[in-house]
Amino acid sequence: MRLYNTLTRQEEEFAPLRDETVRMYTCGLTVYARGHIGNFRTFVALDVLRRALEYVAGFRIRQVMNFTDVDDRTIAESRAAGVPLREYTDQYIAAFREDAATLGLEPVEDYPRATDEENLRSMVEMIQALEANGHTYTSDGSIYFKIATLPDYGKLARLDHEGIKPGARIDADRYAKDDARDFVLWKATASDEPTWDFGVGPGRPGWHIECSAMALRLLDGAPIDIHAGGVDLVFPHHENEIAQAEGATGETFSRFWVHVEHLLFGEGVKMSKSLGNVFSVQDVLERGYRASALRYVLLSVHYRKQLRFTWGSLDQAEEALKRLIGCLARLEGIAGGADGQGGQAHPALADRVETARRDFAEKIEQDLNVPGALGVMFELVRHVNTALDDGELGPPDAAVVKTAFDGFDQVLGVMALRRAEDATPAVPVDEIERLIGERRAARARRDFAAADAIRDDLVARGVILEDTPAGTRWSLK
């Protein structure tokens, strides 16, 4: 598996350090609001990374994704809502889980929250280690990281001191800092804010410390294999995570850094809560699009390129997906078909399938070239459809092809999602089947008006009927 590593700005061969198990930390949401589809672009891309490492490269996975449930925003919003912080963030964690399931994200092994006591304690321990190593100073009760004490500070983002934008609002804190880029580790809190006191004085954690501490605590120490997140986290968040973890332990924090590019909305500005141009997964669903189409869109651009999202892209994805699912449905009709006339396998097709499997894996192993892999899959779709049209594809072939598609979807996770959606149609399945039976009878007595009425009625209720040589097939709009 080759992966682009932000640390070296190069593609490198990846393998886990220990036990064939990938120890991966993924920055999750700050839960002051529902995540938007830009956030989920990252999460879907990292889900594909996880699946590729698991099903293509064959590694075991131990992945941690955090929830930042304490910061200026969460505190401010929960206070505005008149709800305790924990209770306030609970609802957005629940929303995340719902959206993640809707998009078919594989659950990761651990979803720690910053405010869980064992996590706060490990943050305090890390701060104490940093103090012991001389990387900190205190100002107005807050503890800061002094970047001047770490010679290779900036190695990830590659920003030098002169790169700081003149006039930028670099000193947002009320507290005095020695250097504009010094950052807070533990923030002395106002009296009416949540406060914890586990050894470095009363206060709350700075944003960056939680990830360093939780990654090392939950992934058995440095170095972890992969640390990932959206590109906007490169600086300052990930740079500061490195400073904290390496300043405290003296060891490399993470071997690989993977960053997912932004999703841009419409004419091309990033989707972000602060810009107010956000749409959630639920918003997309409410506009009548399917989650599977959204996942497809999110998948269809390489993860290191900006993805320009438009509503039209969902329409295109929907059509592409129908082509894919249509082929699968035909295949299953053959595989389970009573009219299967037996066991002649087609070596030419078997070769095609084998080639496609190999090419697909090759694309994925090349820094997750999902669009390229989709191309491979669609070429196979065409060949399979042709064989199907010519009646040259029997049950044994169908099974082989079906297995290949299942393999593709272990990585893509989009067909299974589609299937799950179709499993719960608005019209009960037995009613659909009864109506198909009635229509068949109408057609048999050449009462096409009645037959068409049944079909039209079902279309109006979101169910599409298609007549094939093997019988009538239904699918959801």
Partner RNA sequence: GGCGCCGUCGCCAAGUGGUAAGGCAGAGGUCUGCAAAACCUCCAUCCCCGGUUCAAAUCCGGGCGGCGCCUCCA
Q: How far is the CB of 131 from RNA (least distance, A)?
A: 22
Characterize the bridge pairing of strands 263-265 and 307-309: parallel
Residues 217-246 that bind RNA (CB under 7 A): 229-237
Q: How far is the CB of 316 from RNA (least distance, A)?
A: 4
Would you give the binding string for RNA spanning residues 152-191, x where CB under 7 A is met?
-----xxxx-xxxxx-xxx-x-------xx----------
Contact between 468 and RNA (CB under 7 A)?
yes
Report CA 297 to chain centroid distance, whole Å: 12
377 CB-near residues (< 8 Å, 6+ apart): 324, 356, 360, 405, 408
Q: Which of 4, 25, 30, 114 binds RNA (CB under 7 A)?
A: 30
Q: How far is the CB of 336 from RNA (least distance, A)?
A: 18
Point out which span in 79-87, 101-109, 213-221, 361-369 binds RNA (CB under 7 A): 361-369
Contact between 413 and RNA (CB under 7 A)?
no
Q: Is 434 exposed, middle or buried (0-12, 13-18, 19+ CB in 10 A)?
A: exposed
Q: Which of 200, 245, 301, 412 binds RNA (CB under 7 A)?
A: 301
Q: Which of 216, 245, 388, 414 binds RNA (CB under 7 A)?
A: 388
| Backbone dihedral angles phi then psi of residue 155, each to the nearest 5 degrees | -70, -25
Report CA 348 to chain centroid distance, whole Å: 37
Asked if 85 contacts 194 with a C-beta cutoff of 8 angstroms, the reply is yes
Asked if 327 contacts 385 with a C-beta cutoff of 8 angstroms, the reply is yes
What count of Cα atoms within 13 Å lies in the side-chain half-sphere of residue 40? 29
Contact between 313 and RNA (CB under 7 A)?
yes
Question: Which CB sits closer to RNA, 388 or 398?
Answer: 388
Residues 246-275 that bind RNA (CB under 7 A): 260, 262-264, 267-274
Contact between 385 and RNA (CB under 7 A)?
yes
Q: Partners of 12 in the beta sheet?
A: 3
Which of 297, 352, 344, 345 has its CA nearest to residue 319? 297
Q: How far is the CB of 296 from RNA (least distance, A)?
A: 9
d(CA 91, CA 69) in angstroms, rounded, equals 11
Q: How many residues in the shown chain lie near RNA by CB under 7 A?
A: 92
Contact between 443 and RNA (CB under 7 A)?
yes
Q: Which of 7, 25, 38, 75 binds RNA (CB under 7 A)?
A: 38
